[in-house]
Amino acid sequence: MERIINIEWTGSAEGGHLRLLDQTQLPTDTVYLDCKTVQDVWDAIKRLSVRGAPAIGIAAAYGCVLGVQGASQGVSQALNQAADHLATSRPTAVNLFWALDRMKKVEPCTPQWLLEEAKAIHAEDEAMCRTMGEHALSLMRQTLGQDAAGLPMPGVLTHCNAGALATGGIGTATAGMYLGHQQGLKFTVYADETRPLLQGSRLTAYELGQAGLDVVLICDGMAAQVMREGKVGMVITGADRIAANGDAANKIGTYNLAVLAKHHGVPFYVAAPSSTFDLSLASGDLIPIEERAAEEITQGFGKRTAPEPVKTYSPAFDVTPAELIRAIVTEKGVIQPVTQQRIGEVLGL
Ligand code: MRU
């Protein structure tokens, strides 16, 4: 499959820069941003030009390289400054902090070695996506009951964008879909549009459609009816941070889907690399939830759609309790049942 390039370092460690596909412009415009400073990367993360937990981590790692350019002395101080600043861009996706911690540990601390580490984080993410995809595809076959003969399968519902645009590879939640499609499986993906910033509509429906998958776009509030009509055989989403007990934070609206899935007897899966686990947090109650600007609800994409004035509350993520998650797909294997003990066993802790 031809991958859309979303994150790319161009040039040398000392003189190069980061190119990011500006995801705020999709699906209509393909525009690349040239990030030449740490602040450029911070801004790109904050405004969601680059978004999705793994992609944020990868972009921040390259941002650290920008932070040490020209700092012939005091490279590690410049690195710490850059990493500390980037850490303030968004609070929920733990991959950001995971990548920054990794960058801070690079020895010797030179631009060249830092670039090598950022590239390694990027390449490892690509490989993790592929392995997750293989595990997820087995789950899809088991859950949806299609054999190699190619019988039609019910749909797979996903939320937000946990796709290629959100990672260094073929996505987390979408990885099994891409591999299944390559292998000739026939299935429909129901993409929730994902209010308020429409990552499902602008990004997931776009990237899966470009790759030739059968995608049906629905508004978030339609999921219950679509499940009731028997159109959904499984739900799979990504995650931004998974606590030690398996509670998983993901885009706002994910928890709704998990509750709906339980009601309709539909399995609810999460796909996430090991870099998305935060075992320092005992439960999802401790995961910091980003709050976004009121305008994203009241005048998203430029048109006012709410009275003025109006009070708003806009948590960008919610936490799905482990008990609602049938399994978590990681690159190290499938965590099922979702318990602290099984998480430890699969992640090898
Ligand atoms: O606000 P976003 O677009 O960064 O939110 C992204 C999500 O919630 C994704 O589902 C999650 O980061 C997993 S990406 C593989």
Phi, psi of 274 (to 5 degrees): -60, -25
- Yes or no: say if 235 and 136 are a contact pair by the CB < 8 Å rule: no
Ligand 1 closest atom vs CA 163: 15
Predicted confidence (pLDDT) at residue 30 exceeds the cutoff of 90: yes
Residue 213 is predicted with a pLDDT of: 97
Residue 258 is predicted with a pLDDT of: 99
Model confidence over 303-335: pLDDT tens digits? 999 999 999 999 999 999 999 999 999 999 999
For residue 329, what are the β-bridge partners?
A: 271, 334
Residue nearest atom 8 of ligand 1, based on CA coordinates? 251
- Yes or no: say if 271 and 173 are a contact pair by the CB < 8 Å rule: yes
Q: What is the Å distance from ligand 1's center to 107 Cα? A: 31
Which residues does 96 contact at the CB level (< 8 Å), separation at least 6? 45, 53, 56, 57, 60, 86, 87, 89, 90
Q: What's the average model confidence in pLDDT over 282-289?
A: 98
Residue 240 designated active-site:
yes
Identify the CA nearest to 23 among candidates 143, 131, 120, 165: 165
Instruction: For 50-104, give the secondary structure using H, E and C.
Output: CCCHHHHHHHHHHHHHHHHCCCCCCHHHHHHHHHHHHCCCCCCCHHHHHHHHHHH
Question: Rounded to an integer, what distance in angstroms lies between the CA atom of residue 15 and that of residue 241?
Answer: 34
Helix and strand totals (H; E) in the chain: 12, 14
Residue 273 is predicted with a pLDDT of: 98
Q: What's the average model confidence in pLDDT over 233-256?
A: 98
Q: What is the Å distance from ligand 1's center to 283 Cα? A: 19
Ligand 1 closest atom vs CA 159: 10
Q: What's the average model confidence in pLDDT over 84-109?
A: 98
Percent of the chain whose predicted confidence (pLDDT) is above 90: 94
Q: Which of 192, 240, 278, 318 is catalytic?
A: 240
Predicted confidence (pLDDT) at residue 69 exceeds the cutoff of 80: yes
The strand pair at 214-218 and 155-158 is best described as unpaired
Residue 1 is predicted with a pLDDT of: 67
Model confidence over 173-230: pLDDT tens digits? 999 999 999 999 999 999 999 999 999 999 999 999 999 999 999 999 999 999 999 9
Calculate the average pLDDT of the chain.
Answer: 96
Which residue type, as a one-letter code, is found at position 322?
A
Ligand 1 closest atom vs CA 172: 15
Question: Rounded to an integer, what distance in angstroms lies between the CA atom of residue 28 and that of residue 82?
Answer: 33
List the single range of 2-16, 54-68, 95-109, 134-148 with lowest mean pLDDT: 134-148
Identify the CA nearest to 168 among candidates 5, 295, 2: 5
Q: What is the Å distance from ligand 1's center to 192 Cα? A: 13
Model confidence over 133-185: pLDDT tens digits? 999 999 999 988 755 455 556 899 999 999 999 999 999 999 999 999 999 99
pTM, 2 dp: 0.97
Task: Tell me the CB-side half-sphere exposure of residue 259, using CA atoms within 13 A.
Answer: 7
For residue 158, what are the β-bridge partners?
A: 191
Model confidence over 250-276: pLDDT tens digits? 999 999 999 999 999 999 999 999 999
Q: What is the Å distance from ligand 1's center to 47 Cα? A: 13
Cα dihedral 142→143→148→153 (10° resolution): 180
Residues in contact with ligand 1 by the CB-under-6-Å rule are 48, 51-54, 93, 160, 162, 166-167, 171-172, 199, 237-240, 250-251, 316
Residue 73 is predicted with a pLDDT of: 83
